[in-house]
Amino acid sequence: MRTTDPGQLFEAATGGDRAALARIISLVERGSEAGAELSRMAFSHSHQAFTVGLTGAPGAGKSTLTNSLVEVMRRRGQEAAVLAIDPSSPFTGGAILGDRVRMQDHALDPGVYIRSMATRGHLGGLSVAVPETSRMLAAMGFPTIFIETVGVGQVEVEIAEEADTTVVVVNPGWGDAVQANKAGLMEIADVFVINKADRPGVRETRRDLESMLDMSEPGPWRPPILETVAQDGKGAEEVIEAVFAHHAFAESSGLAARRRQARLAKELSRLAQAMLARKVESLMAGEEFSAAVAEMNEGRLDPRTIANRLIGRL
């Protein structure tokens, strides 16, 4: 399918054409006009997907774990999509051979869609591109979407936080849980996973996590702490169980609905701010702007008066 017509692309992708879906996501990712139109189409679809954020320090095993979670989903006859936000992720094909071989298994599986994401000039950046892409995958019928982000940096942490259920991945060893806490991952976790449980220090890490949970405000949901050896798929079943248990809790307690609403509000605010910033930039490139600067320079008008006048015109 070589068309660039958004309507035709959308139709092809909903019919199962993966090349069309890949094109669509590239358009959305780039924030192009066609991408915006496609996002509107996806929004008007009523399909909703369950989004699972996975975050943690670089190299914690997020991709390997996601890989084994997808395997569990497939064994259960469920379809799943993966969005890997980290550019260094094995999903991009740039890394470890073992992961690539494993992902090739999934690559032949029509029930799995894996995509790495980077945003090049998208209006509002990742924080708008990710929800738009998630909705696209939901519109294509994927009931569950795993979103992997490195738990470093505010935007990445926010993206993980805005999933329906957030899994924080830590490793055994002294201080790892404390590091996660410092990175702001403690508050956003719905489920903790101690991955690389084949290594020493699991008990200490669990104790650290437990004591940090004890110190935090007790809520109706206490995040469970699970152990995995992601490479061997060990513990992956239990992680899926915990993730869906949290999902059920969130749906029945009203938490899911509250999160969805907060997420939409944030997305709208970011998008509006980005649009406004873009307009201001184009104003600043205009003649009127340079004339205004000249007026300020001569002391005839102050910046506030001029800014008000310019903004008023937007």
Ligand X SMILES: Nc1nc2c(ncn2[C@@H]2O[C@H](COP(=O)(O)OP(=O)(O)OP(=O)(O)O)[C@@H](O)[C@H]2O)c(=O)[nH]1
Residues of this chain that bind ligand X (CB under 6 A)? 58-64, 86, 88-90, 96, 150, 195-196, 198-199, 229-231
User: 174-182 long-range contacts, Cβ below 8 Å, gap at least 24?
Assistant: 174/201, 174/204, 176/57, 176/201, 176/205, 176/208, 177/205, 177/208, 177/209, 177/212, 178/208, 179/57, 180/56, 180/57, 180/151, 181/212
The CB-of-174 to ligand X minimum distance in angstroms stands at 17
Q: Residue 67, interface with Mg ion (CB under 5 A)?
A: no
Please give the DSSP secondary-structure letter assigned to residue 90. Answer: G
Q: Which are the contacts of 308, defined by CB distance < 8 A and separation ≥ 6?
A: none
Q: Residue 68, interface with Mg ion (CB under 5 A)?
A: no
The CB-of-58 to ligand X minimum distance in angstroms stands at 4
Range 88-97 burial, b when 16+ CB lie within 10 A, else e: ebbbbeeeee
The CB-of-92 to ligand X minimum distance in angstroms stands at 9
The CB-of-232 to ligand X minimum distance in angstroms stands at 7
Q: Residue 205, interface with Mg ion (CB under 5 A)?
A: no
Please give the DSSP secondary-structure letter assigned to residue 286. Answer: S
Could you tell which of ligand X, Mg ion, none binds residue 128, using a CB distance below 5 to 8 A set by kind?
none
Q: Read off the amino acid at residue 128.
A: V
Count of residues that bind Mg ion according to CB under 5 A: 3
The CB-of-64 to ligand X minimum distance in angstroms stands at 3
Cβ distance to Mg ion smaller for residue 117 or 123: 117
Helix (H, G, I), strand (E, B) or coil at 224: coil
Q: Choose one: 15-23, 62-70, 102-110, 258-266; the region binding Mg ion (CB under 5 A).
A: 62-70
Cα separation, 258 vs 251, whole angstroms: 10
CB 144 within 8 A of CB 52: yes
Q: Residue 63, interface with Mg ion (CB under 5 A)?
A: yes
Q: Choose one: 60-68, 70-78, 113-121, 291-299; the region binding Mg ion (CB under 5 A).
A: 60-68
Q: Cα dihedral sign for 88, 273, 288, 32? A: positive
Q: Residue 51, interface with Mg ion (CB under 5 A)?
A: no
The CB-of-112 to ligand X minimum distance in angstroms stands at 17
Residue from 67, 89, 116, 133 touching Mg ion (CB under 5 A): that is 89
Cβ distance to ligand X smaller for residue 68 or 165: 68
Which residue from 25, 45, 91 is spatially nearest to 64, judged by alpha carbons?
91
List contacts with Mg ion (CB under 5 A).
62-63, 89
